[in-house]
Amino acid sequence: MRRWKLSVPALVVVAALPLTACTSSQDKARAIREHAQATAPKPLVIAKPNKDVKLGDTTLLHDQNGDAIVVPVTNETDKPMVSIPILVEIKNGKQTLYKNDTAGIDYALNHIAVIKPHETFYWVNDQLTGQGKTAKVQVGDPEEKPPSGAVPSYTVSDPRFGHDFSGVKVSGTVKTDSKIDQSHLILFAVARQGNQIVAAGRGQIKKLKHGAKPSPYVVYFIGDPTGADVTIQAPPTTFEGTGELGAAPAQGESQ
């Protein structure tokens, strides 16, 4: 009798051990999952519209290379605006074909880095995934404060037209007029015939260093810019005392 009674609690203890370990593993897994969800990039949301900008007429473009949208955004204030979120929803009837609120999307596809005082900036997104008929546009308040110093500026050479297997393109060079190096500088090109926008595209310069030779750029278009007037805007991404706009935070920093 004594031996039997002694063996029962021993069996209970042995049976309880894996249950305790299993619960602990579940707690750890749950904590890891919750942390991942909390720190994961979130879709971009604009809570309220920016009342200090004016939106111009939106242009939707399509050709065999894809689809693009051009949105004129005017800063109606006396101060530069920095890191302005912009959301678009492209629809064909009731069907939504494209939205640019996706977490982790390239910064320049749903933000305008800078709009100078009273400047009209022609924002281009050439990564649309369908030929839509209508576009809903939202522009939010700036996410960053205006820089304490002057906004960095550049000299963009006149575009030279060309053509290759990827389509019609323009090329040239960009030279910085400031002492602040730039990274991932996006060039926004718009081609007009009269008052009509007939083509648009984007190009990128990965590094633009002060004192270095001018950096080359190439812009391919959605639409046909042949015979049109092309203008190029390149808002700076880095300011004195700040990091690159849209850059991923360093390890250990909050999102």
Q: What is the pLDDT of residues 69-103, one digit of tens each?
A: 999 999 999 999 999 999 999 999 999 999 999 99
Rounded CA-CA distance 24/16 in Å is 13
Which of these, 157, 148, 80, 79, lies nearest to 113 by C-alpha position?
80
Positive or negative torsion for Cα 235, 238, 243, 249: positive
Between 202 and 2, residue with greater pLDDT: 202
What is the band of 24 on the pLDDT scale with cuts at 50, 70, 90? confident
Average pLDDT, the chain: 86
Print the SS3 string covering 143-178: CECCCCCCCCCEEECCCEEEEECCEEEEEEEEEECC
Looking at residue 70, its amino acid is V
Report the range of poorest mean pLDDT among 22-31, 92-101, 246-255: 246-255
Which comes out higher in pLDDT, residue 29 or 115?
Answer: 115
Q: What is the pLDDT of residue 150?
A: 87
Q: Can you tell me the distance from the alpha carbon of 115 to that of 86, in angstroms, rounded to the nearest whole number? A: 13
**Helix (H), strand (E) at residue 35:** helix 2-39
Q: DSSP secondary-structure letter at 134? A: E
The per-residue pLDDT for range 108-150, each reduced to its tens digit, is: 999 999 999 999 999 999 999 999 999 999 999 999 999 888 8
Residue length of the chain = 255
Q: Please state the rounded mean pLDDT for residues 191-202.
A: 97
Query: What is the pTM (predicted TM-score) of this model?
Result: 0.82
